[in-house]
Amino acid sequence: MPYNFKYIRCELQNRIMLLAINRPEVHNALNSELFREIGEVFQKMKDDPEVDVVVITGAGEKSFIAGSDVSEMSQCSLLEARKFALGVNDAQQKIANFPRPTIAAINGFAFGGGLEVAMCCDIRIASENAKFGQLEVDVGIIPGGGGTQRLARLIGTGRAKEMIYTCMIIDAQRAFEIGLVNRVVSKENLMEETMKLAKKIEQKSNVMLTLAKAAIDTGADMDLENALKTEIELFAECFGSVDGPEGLKAFVEKRKANIIGK
């Protein structure tokens, strides 16, 4: 299945799709066309049985995604701004709702819309030179791509308010300390470590990964009682698959399971 986009480089490596946001001349800033492409590529991958894990990074050495394109937003009327934000939300929800695992390899600046994109991913790995911030208030707006909501859910409302109110920039180590990223690695080893993790995930049954992700994401917005009921239903679905009974049988028989992704 061909993946040809103007601003996104796509490379499929053994069922791992590597997406590189490719506007290095503007530090990979996100404009309307790029947001549209993000939505399209995730919709396409959703229907592609060859894609088990997705890794998102930024082209070049300085920036993951430096934010949304301020020059484009500066021309918006109220109605145009709402339309822009709806387009952003549509693209980012396609990342967040993608049924299989996603990893952000954050190789530099992750500001504004860039941090919002990273927060849509399941796992975030940062290079030691990465920087993070929701800087919108300084340019006369507030986060409009999920920044006020996902950031608070990840690091707590108090820390999120401090970051958003003050437009502070934090480094990778601080992002790790507050739970914004899963781990920090050297700049030189970022992609190697990210792909190593992606390969480890890819070797698992994609049926089980999809069910586990659905249980976590769906339950996160429920009260505990209903979340546990959801988990039970998804747990039961494992036994209606091919991989589930095979995995259990292989464990009992002390052999390697024959995982086929069904």
State the catalytic residues: 116, 136
Burial of 75 (0-12, 13-18, 19+ CB in 10 A): exposed
Q: Taking a C-beta distance cutoff of 8 angstroms, is the pair 13, 52 a contact?
A: no
Nearest one of 19, 197, 193, 187 to 109, comparing CA atoms: 187
Q: Taking a C-beta distance cutoff of 8 angstroms, is the pair 134, 79 a contact?
A: no
For residue 135, give both structure tokens: 């800087």
Alpha-carbon distance of 62 to 109, in angstroms, equals: 7
